[in-house]
Chains A and B, each alone.
Chain A
Amino acid sequence: MNLANGTNFSHLQAFVFFAAVISVAFGFLGRRQPKERMNYILWSFFLFLLVGIGIGWLMYPFSR
Chain B
Amino acid sequence: MTHETTDTHETTTLEPPTSSPAKDSTLQNKAWGVAVAGWLLPGLGHALLRMWGRAAAVFVTVALLVIAGASMRGNLFTSNGNDAFDTLGYVADLGTGSFYFLARALQHGGADVSHAGGDYGTRFLATAGILNLLAALHAYEAARRRKA
User: A residues engaging B (CB < 8 A)?
Assistant: 1-9, 11, 14, 17-18, 21-22, 24-25, 27-29, 32-34
Contact = CB atoms under 8 A, between A and B. Distances in A.
Contact of A9 (B6, B62, B120): B120
A12 to B, nearest CB: 11
Interface residues of B, number: 34
B6 A32 contact: yes
B124 interface: yes
Contact of B108 (A3, A21, A24): A3
Q: Could you say which of B116, B120, B135, B138 has the most chain A C-beta atoms within 10 Å of its C-beta?
A: B120
Interface SS majority for chain B = helix
Interface of B: 5-8, 53-54, 57-58, 60-62, 64-65, 67-68, 70-73, 106, 108-109, 112, 116-118, 120, 123-124, 127, 131, 134-135, 138
A21 B6 contact: no
Contacts of B61: 21-22, 24-25
Contacts of A25: 57-58, 61-62, 131, 135
B127 A28 contact: no
B117 A29 contact: no
A29 B54 contact: yes
A7 B8 contact: no
Given A9-B120, A21-B64, A25-B58, A4 B109 contact: yes
Contacts of A9: 68, 72, 117, 120
